[in-house]
Amino acid sequence: MDRLVAVVEALRDHCPWTAALTHADLAEYLVEEAYEAVAEIESRDAAAWADVPARRADGAYPALAAELGDVLFLSLIHISETTRLRRISYA
């Protein structure tokens, strides 16, 4: 997790596009990625998710992990913005 936080901070420090993003700019992306994660979850019923070998075979876990990774990444950018505004910390 520390490495991911370091990547986010490096992007905020060295990438003008990422550095300029505000909470308002990021909101649309966060909602979109959250919907994609939910869609991935809802694409299979509870019994299908419980069938671990089948989920590995059809790529469900990697697909869900990718969507949740996007949500996490955007959440960390929001936290970075809030930290820069001195409102909260990563801790």
Q: What is the pLDDT of residues 2-26, one digit of tens each?
A: 888 889 889 889 999 988 888 899 9
Does this model's pTM top 0.85? My answer is no
Helix (H, G, I), strand (E, B) or coil at 72: helix
Cβ within 8 Å of residue 67, ≥6 positions away: 33, 36, 37, 40
